[in-house]
């Protein structure tokens, strides 16, 4: 119980630090969102009217007073689940704006993460078991080469070839004319619009899992218990799956949990390239427009998701590997 209590205490302390930094970072950035919106309405070359800026701050509900008073007010609103109005999508609430984009990102990124994890673990384990073979060379060199490429660059290439040149897939958005809901026309359009963004992520995302699983499993293959298993006459398949791969998989559990926790941050560059209506695109718009309420909420969701996933991984690790509990007892 000491192990689990300590992990939960670290989680609470880190969550408080994240909430505090989430409050401070947007306010330390230069620029005034009220001035940005007034300039947008009046034109870039128009002179700023202090009265208009003041009225815009009041309309947006921008925080005022000392930094400490703002912090106390922020914590109070956070406890009550009130994240304010979005400056970019005024007068809609931040929660409403995020709710519309939430499932787009979750479906896109979760599916790609799960597929990438399974493919990466299988290929990495097989390459490690057949190390120094032709397959191992192809997987390792291919992964190293693809790892130098950026998802947004691959997205631009896919967009040009399959979107503009061949016209096989839509070039932007999440759907076209169908009514959102659980109906076949909408599902067809959603899958068609999400195919290229998902492919751009699937080309690069498995690389880390492949190389990590391969290197960890190769180290495990040199352990004494592997030699003992071979000496006992166990089949190569059983040694690879039940011993080497099983132990090599443990470090990947934490990485996979963190990757799923980071889903709430979206794939900012990929979603921006394809104009995909997810949380990543919202994050980019919030940064560009100094939308503090939306930016703070997205950052809090992302970091809280990573923390919760990390806590779950630590607890699961303690269950799967008793040595972790004994080490911190």
Give the model confidence (pLDDT) of 19-51 as tens digits.
888 777 767 766 666 666 677 666 666 666 677
pLDDT value at residue 322 = 59
Query: Is the pLDDT confidence value at 328 over 60?
Result: no
pLDDT value at residue 1 = 62
pLDDT band, very low/low/confident/very high, at 58 (cuts 50, 70, 90): low
Could you tell me the two tokens for 12? 């609470």
Over residues 57-79, mean pLDDT: 72
pLDDT band, very low/low/confident/very high, at 261 (cuts 50, 70, 90): low
Over residues 303-308, mean pLDDT: 80
Query: Is the pLDDT confidence value at 52 over 80?
Result: no
85 φ, ψ (degrees, to nearest 5)? -100, 145
* Cα(8)–Cα(226) distance, integer angstroms: 35
Query: Is the pLDDT confidence value at 17 over 80?
Result: yes
Strand segments, DSSP code E, in 55-119 are: none
* Cα(36)–Cα(127) distance, integer angstroms: 54
pLDDT value at residue 325 = 53
Query: Is the pLDDT confidence value at 187 over 60?
Result: yes
Inter-residue contact 209 to 125 (CB < 8 Å):
no
271 versus 36: the higher-pLDDT residue is 271
Residues near 119 by beta carbon (within 8 Å), at least 6 away in sequence: 206, 209, 210
Domains of the chain with CATH codes = 2-79 (no CATH), 96-327 (1.10.3720.10)
* Cα(165)–Cα(168) distance, integer angstroms: 9
Residue reference for tokens 């003992």: 228
* Cα(171)–Cα(163) distance, integer angstroms: 5
pTM equals: 0.70
Q: What is the pLDDT of residues 98-153, one digit of tens each?
A: 888 888 888 888 888 888 888 888 888 888 877 888 888 888 888 878 777 777 78
């Amino acid at each position: 119980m000491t192990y689990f209590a300590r992990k939960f205490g670290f989680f609470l302390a880190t969550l408080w630090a994240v909430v505090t930094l989430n409050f401070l970072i947007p306010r330390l950035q230069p620029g005034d969102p009220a001035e940005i919106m007034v300039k947008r309405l009046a034109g870039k070359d128009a002179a700023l009217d202090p009265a208009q800026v003041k009225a815009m701050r009041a309309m947006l509900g921008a925080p005022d007073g000392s930094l400490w008073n703002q912090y106390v007010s922020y914590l109070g609103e956070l406890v009550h689940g009130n994240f304010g109005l979005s400056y970019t999508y005024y007068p809609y609430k931040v929660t409403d704006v995020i709710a519309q984009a939430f499932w787009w990102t979750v479906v896109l990124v979760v599916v790609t993460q799960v597929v990438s994890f399974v493919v990466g673990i299988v290929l990495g384990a097989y390459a490690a078991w057949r190390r120094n073979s032709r397959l191992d060379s192809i997987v390792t060199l291919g992964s190293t080469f693809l790892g130098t490429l950026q998802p947004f660059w691959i997205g631009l290439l896919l967009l040009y070839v399959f979107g503009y040149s061949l016209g096989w897939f839509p070039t932007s958005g999440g759907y076209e004319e169908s009514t959102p809901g659980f109906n076949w026309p909408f599902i067809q359009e959603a899958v068609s619009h999400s195919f290229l963004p998902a492919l751009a992520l699937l080309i690069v995302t498995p690389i880390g899992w492949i190389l990590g699983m391969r290197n960890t499993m190769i180290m495990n293959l040199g352990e004494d218990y592997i030699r003992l298993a071979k000496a006992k006459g166990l089949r190569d398949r059983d040694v690879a799956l039940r011993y080497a791969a099983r132990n090599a998989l443990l470090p990947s559990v934490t990485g996979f949990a963190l990757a799923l926790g980071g889903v709430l941050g979206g794939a900012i560059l990929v979603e921006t390239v394809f104009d995909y209506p997810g949380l990543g695109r919202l994050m980019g718009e919030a940064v560009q427009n100094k939308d503090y309420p939306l930016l703070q909420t997205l950052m809090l969701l992302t970091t809280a998701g990573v923390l919760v996933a990390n806590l779950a991984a630590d607890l699961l690790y303690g269950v799967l590997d008793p040595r972790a509990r004994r080490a911190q007892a």
